[in-house]
Structure formats: structure tokens, C-alpha cells
Amino acid sequence: MSMKVVVLGAGAVGLTVAAKLSRVADVHAVARERHVDAVRERGFLMTGIWGEGTYHFSCSEDLPDAWRDADYYIITTKSTDTEAVCRQFSGAIRGREVVSLQNGIGNEEIISRFTDRVISGMIITGFEWRGDAAVHVSVEAAPMRLGRFPSGMDGAVRQLADLIGEAGIRVEATGGIRSDLWSKTLYNSALNPLGAIAGVPYGALTDPHAWAIITEVVREAYRVVEAEGVALPWETADAYLEYLRTAQLPATAAHHSSMLQDLALGRRTEIDFLNGAVVDLGRRHGIDVPYNACITELIHFRERV
């Protein structure tokens, strides 16, 4: 029998993942009204590096009863909406496999209050709206990573990774997903808020003045990660900064910060799950993180003006 997958809070990321999965599984996406209407009327339109085409799958503003027995629930909301989504669908997700495919640190801890079966996902891919239910996949810096949270590997993780791979998305399963979560958070914390404050694409952040700020943001975050007991792929902050400069930045040089888009639309950003999480954990461990604190306050200021 075909696997049943529900995507909750399906925006650009969720609808695109739902579209790809719809070719190999039964998929339902819970999305905003305008996207639901567009999917029903003419399908979901995808362009870019994940392929081009029109995809048709079940989509609505709420969760029909027929989908409450899904094998996997994938949450793709902004981190600021994680708790609200979990509360809204608490009856459906309780005891189910729930996947966080989101930004930042703290989402899995929220989800774990509603189910004891949490899978964490890390994705570094650019998704750009091109209209209602229309997304352009612009860049991909690494394969998607999936793992049991907070650590470990089991059949449910492997099965999901196999399904996503069959759908044509590059994916890897891991037993140490916290390392991947923090790796992505380093990338996002270094570039996303500064790109938003300066109003420039990521490639411009190699300027020496911007890079000096990025360097301190990363060094502070590294001290916090070490205190958390998480091992990263790069032994030192400077080793990661070199990887960021030579590999990740060139791959996403033309990308504009998601925070820049949020601020332009008057929406709350995910700063509290990125640099803000570094600040909170820094306080917990007695580590001074002034650059991350300053970046966090600047973004909160921009949210208010």
C-alpha cells in the first residue's frame, strides 16, 4: 500500500516537498486558502533545479478525517508557528511520526510535547515564490538530512529517507541529526539576519566589514555548540568560516535572506530560533555572545518599524 504523508503549514517548502512526494505517495497538504485554490484549479507549478512541471495532490485549509491516519506528518511552518500548528492538530499527531523540516533550534523540543515520535530534518535549499502555488527551486547547498531526534536511527527514519529519495530529492539518513541542525543554524545565523539588515544578497556579505561581523557571530555560536555537547563536522569556528566562504556562500551568492522577505511583508522573523537561540543557550551556559545578541535586537527592532 502507498504511504500516506501529510504536510502541515505548507508554504513554499512544504508545497514543493508535497509535490515531489505526490509522485510516490498519497499526499495531503494543509496550506493557505489562496494556494489551496490554485492547486485545485490548475495544480502546483514547480520550476528550477528540482525539475519543472505541474503537480496535482490533495490540498485544503484543514485536515480531513480521512488523512488523520497518515504514516508521517511533516511540519514546514515558520518556527514562530510551530506551537500553534501542534496545538491545532494535536489530536492527529499524538503518537504519530512527526517530522520537523524547519529552520533553527527549538522546534523539535516543542513538537516533542505533543508526540514522542519526532524526526528532525535539515534542508538547505532555496525556494522562491513565483505566484500562488508556484515555486522556483533556486539553489541547493547540501542533501536533505533526516534523523531521529535528539539522536539515533531506526526503521521509520530509513523508510522516510527512502521515500524522499524515490521522489527525486537528494537525502541522507543520520544517527546524529543535532549536528546537522546546528550546522544549518550556523549558516542561517551568519547570513540570514545580516543579509536582511543590509538588504543585500548573500554574495555581498564577503565584504570585509560584513565578514568581520559574521566571523564573531560564528565564533560565539561555536562556543555555545561546544557547551551543548554537539560535535560539528568542522573542528573549529575558523574551519567552518573557511567552508562558509569557499563552498556555501558561492552556492547561494544570489540568494536573498528569508528574513529580508519577512520584514518587507511585515511578518515576524525566525530570529529567536537562530541567533536568539544562541543568546538563550549562551546565557544558560554563562557564555557571553554580544554579536548574536546585537543581531537579535536589531532584527526585533526592524520587526517593529
Strand order in the sheet with 44-48: 53-55, 44-48, 134-140, 125-129
> Please, what sign has the CA dihedral across residues 115, 118, 299, 260?
negative
Confidence (pLDDT) at 142: 85
Quote the Cα angle for 228-231-236, to 5°.
100
| Mean of pLDDT over the chain | 96
For the chain, where are the alpha helices, taking DSSP H only? 12-21, 33-42, 82-88, 90-93, 107-111, 155-166, 177-198, 208-227, 237-243, 249-251, 258-264, 275-285, 290-304
Amino acid 127 reads F
Confidence (pLDDT) at 29: 98
Amino acid 298 reads L
Confidence (pLDDT) at 97: 98
> Nearest to residue 125, comparing CAs of 72, 70, 168?
168
Alpha carbons within 13 A on the beta-carbon side of 62: 5
Q: Which residue has cell 539588515?
A: 197
Q: What is the full DSSP assignment across 30-47?
A: E--HHHHHHHHHH-EEEE
Residues 179-188 pLDDT 10s: 999 999 999 9
The confidence band for 1, taking pLDDT boundaries of 50, 70 and 90, is low
**Residues above pLDDT 70, as percent of the chain:** 100
Class of domain 4-175: alpha beta
Q: Which CATH number fits domain 179-304: 3.40.50.300, 3.40.50.720, 1.10.1040.10, 2.20.25.90?
A: 1.10.1040.10
Confidence (pLDDT) at 139: 81
The confidence band for 140, taking pLDDT boundaries of 50, 70 and 90, is confident
* CA–CA distances in Å: residue 214 to residues 111, 127, 189, 303: 30, 24, 9, 21
> Do the beta carbons of residue 8 and residue 89 sit within 8 Å?
yes
Between CA 163 and CA 157 the distance in angstroms is 10
Quote the Cα angle for 209-215-217, to 5°.
110
> Do the beta carbons of residue 112 and residue 119 sit within 8 Å?
no
C-alpha cell of residue 217: 557571530
- Report domain extents, the chain: 4-175, 179-304
Confidence (pLDDT) at 116: 96
pLDDT value at 8 more than 80: yes
> Please, what sign has the CA dihedral across residues 186, 247, 177, 222?
negative
Confidence (pLDDT) at 251: 82
Please tell me which residue, 133 or 128, carries the higher pLDDT value: 133
With a CB cutoff of 8 Å and minimum separation 6, the contacts of 291 are: 213, 216, 217, 220
Lowest-confidence segment of 70-79, 85-94, 204-213, 246-255 by average pLDDT? 246-255
Indicate if 179-304 has the same CATH topology as 4-175.
no
Task: Determine phi and psi for 31, rounding to 5 degrees.
Answer: -140, 175
pLDDT value at 173 more than 90: yes
| Across 76-96, average pLDDT | 97
Q: Find the Cα–Cα–Cα–Cα dihedral 105, 145, 100, 257, rounded to 10°.
A: 60
Residues 18-42 pLDDT 10s: 999 999 999 999 999 999 999 999 9
| Across 274-281, average pLDDT | 98
